Amino acid sequence: MDNIDIQAIRAAFPILKREVNGKPLVYLDNGATTQKPQAVIDAIIHYYSDMNSNVHRGVHYLSQISTDAFEVTRRKVQEFIHAQHDHEVIITKGTTESINIVAQCYGKAFIHAGDEIIISAMEHHSNIVPWQMLCEDKGAFLKVIPMNEAGELDMEVYRTLLNDKTKLVAVNYVSNALGTINPIKEIIDLAHASHAVVLIDAAQAIQHIPMDVQALDVDFLVFSGHKMYGPTGVGVLYGKEALLNQMPPYQGGGDMIKEVTFEKTTYNELPFKFEAGTPNIEAGITLDAAIDFIQGIGLEHIKKYEDELLAYATEQLLTIDGLRIIGTAKEKSSVVSFVIDGTHPYDVGVILDKLGIAVRTGHHCAQPVMDQFGIPGTIRASFALYNTKEEIDALVAGVKRAVNMLI
């Protein structure tokens, strides 16, 4: 398509050249993790070969250049999500830790007995369990925005759930199990009208959709590096400065302190107050290369291309008798989840793997979603900018072969 040289992009990912079970790899499990371009791999090698040192601690040369590189990533994230300040960007282990920081630290300061927290029916377990734990600890109540059979949130019910007891709303931008793109701006505005703060889980959106936290006016935004062509073990918690300053630290240890005595400890300023201990320095530094890779192509171009892949995959998969797509929202992003009458998702996934095709099977850490549809799980194909229509053709042919073998 215009503006995307798909072969040049594919050439940047070494793993796409390999075979699996004697077949060319068709990697369609990008919702779980994306593959890494050579630029990110080279950045990892460069760090350990030429820079390896601890950050924010040493006056020697290697520590200084590692610290500078780590802070370059922080500023790059700030620009990428259009945060007002770089100290509003907290480097974490990933989306799960970022959510837990808010649950523990905001929750400790602001959630009390009788308060209410709202999540949605399509959340990943990492955006359910921390809030359940907080509610149990504080005597608060967890409310759930229902969804319809298309996998779209019932916004009218959401409006009725909001009241003066609502203190926090936590929802995903894009459903990992269904691909639904939620009306995030409306969700945020309605919550703010009820004086509630909002956390958005952008783990499945950050690599597909341009993000502007100031335009959204979101209070907290979280995502992981490994889902955006970066390394594992690194993620981001964005929070508005005023809120972060009012929250207690998540962990005690090195670098999150200003002064320590046996009588009292005073805490460091943002962002370091929430970054106790030695971080995953390599991942923090090389996330910069992943952002550069995305920006070099442009999220607008990426989204347009991936939307074409999704439309093509949906059309082709629906030619298979007995196949039913789970999640048919009008607004979707890069995920098609489906079941096939008379088969189990796991069995189909195993056969596809023998053909070199990597998909996800199961409940996708979203068991309440599966419960609503009355199924044990789905087969999920999730797309990235390096996938092609030819790979979708291979998926469709593989599914047809699996059906013939299993039924």
- 38: tokens are 């050579």
Alpha carbon separation from 199 to 179, 222, 317, 371 (Å, rounded): 19, 8, 34, 25
Is residue 365 annotated as part of the catalytic site, yes or no?
yes
Distances in Å between the Cα of 51 and the Cα atoms of 63, 91, 233 are: 8, 19, 19
What the block records as the tokens of 324 is: 């039913």
Residues 6+ apart with CB under 8 A from 155: 145, 183, 186, 187
**Treating both helix axes as pointing N-terminal to C-terminal, what angle do 389-406 and 299-317 enclose, rounded to 10 degrees?**
30
How far apart are the C-alpha atoms of 180 and 194, rounded to whole Å? Answer: 25
Q: What 3-state class would DSSP assign to 197?
A: strand
Residue type, 378: T
Prior bond to 271 cis, omega within 30?
yes
Query: What is the Cα–Cα distance from 238 to 287, expressed in whole angstroms?
Result: 15
User: What Å distances lie between residue 390 and 31, 122, 294, 395, CA to CA?
Assistant: 19, 31, 23, 9
- Contact at 8 Å (CB) between 247 and 220? no
Long-range (24+ apart) CB contacts under 8 A made by 157-160 are 158/118, 158/187, 158/190, 159/190
Tell me the C-alpha distance between 179 and 197, whole Å.
Answer: 24
Taking the alpha carbons at both ends of the chain, their separation in whole angstroms is 38
Alpha carbon distance 330, 151 (integer Å): 9
Please enumerate, as own/partner, the contacts of 50-57 that have beta carbons within 8 Å and a separation of 24 or more.
Answer: 51/285, 52/281, 54/278, 54/281, 55/278, 55/279, 55/281, 55/284, 56/255, 56/272, 57/254, 57/255
Catalytically annotated residue among 365, 372, 388, 393: 365
Question: Active-site residues: which are they?
Answer: 365
